[in-house]
Structure 1
């Protein structure tokens, strides 16, 4: 990662983003089930309002669970795929796997490692990351977003982040490069990486509408 690229990205942030950045909604700290459903359901999806889209899916799961703080992956792991699909939606991931099936498989994998609650998640654990990303359709970006939704600082290098970084640099970066550059820019700007990620994401989505 070149220092010139970091400076170029910082300049683009200062030039393009408004002074009053869009605020990160906050995710689901302490609610591992909600964070997991949100992360997977968000793949190529509209975030929506409380009654629809990704937020609606989380809300329906919380209602199904009868709690506002669902925090036990073993419950998701034991859920019938058809039942979960009826709650969170029947969308498909790449490879023909449904999002509901991927949610359950990842929940089983993590639960098998003793990761049941939000407090059990270790962002530095390669074993936990592989248990998640070994699931068809789930990759590094989804894992990173899952961590962010749990309150861990991070950057979800999706199409909007990559587009902004690519425009700033005048070339097409990899998601990993975009993630590292945004994190480095956050350090230079003395802001939280998640806050910068969301500000860029919101700005770039607004440009396309």
Structure 2
């Protein structure tokens, strides 16, 4: 592990420098929006926010219109939404063969059933909560981790961009999501950096390279 940490530190120093790209901040205090964001982010482009949002931002904006004004921090309310209405709002994308709209509603119900209703209830390290989320077809531990990150919990979303960054750094063609997460977490501890900020900087760098 220490060799991998040294390799990633060198990779960051060479390609990212001292000033890491800032984490945009997630969805603090809004458990509903964080859940929609996490599920809609699976194999999707984030797009852009603003008056004409695209990608995941468009889905989040559509969900806000569906639910109305104010802080959206009640998974019980999300779980009560008709999946057809959710689908009309967020679209027909799928994960694991299931509509993401249905997965969102089912995940909200599963989490509410184990006492997770508000943002403050979410504990990414709680295995019971994690099992509730991942019991929904198409949802796995990577987006469970990201769900917590969106609510302000430190973490690493080991998606393809972060896996690619770690693979490039350690010069191994095959790196698992778990390995990538562990290397980023260990590197963050070693440098005193926020794991969320380090993960986002690696994600942004690798994603930008593909778009060039």
Tell me if TM exceeds 0.5.
yes
Q: Deviations over 1:56-101 (max 9, x none)?
A: 111121122112420001111111111001111110112x200011
Gaps of 5+ in 1: none
Q: Secondary structure at the match of 1:47?
A: coil
Q: Deviations over 1:166-204 (max 9, x none)?
A: 011111111011001001111122110000000000000
| C-alpha contact (below 8 Å) 2:111/2:117 kept by paired residues | yes
Q: Map 1:1-209 to 2 at 5 A.
A: 2-50=1-49, 51-94=53-96, 96-171=97-172, 172-209=174-211
| C-alpha contact (below 8 Å) 1:93/1:137 kept by paired residues | yes
Q: State the number of aligned residues.
A: 207
Structure 1 residue ranges, 4+ long, deviating more than 4 angstroms after superposition: none
Q: Deviations over 1:94-151 (max 9, x none)?
A: 2x20001110111110111121110111222100000001111100101000000010
Query: TM-score, structure 1 length as denominator?
Result: 0.96
Query: CA-atom RMSD, angstroms?
Result: 1.0
Query: TM-score, structure 2 length as denominator?
Result: 0.95
Shift of 1:162: 0.4
Cα distance in 2 for partners of 1:136, 1:128 equals 15
Distance 1:68 1:46, change over 3 A: farther
Cα distance in 2 for partners of 1:68, 1:58 equals 14
Cα distance in 2 for partners of 1:155, 1:80 equals 32
Cα distance in 1 for partners of 2:159, 2:70 equals 28
Shift of 1:48: 1.2
| C-alpha contact (below 8 Å) 1:10/1:188 kept by paired residues | no
Q: Secondary structure at the match of 1:21?
A: coil
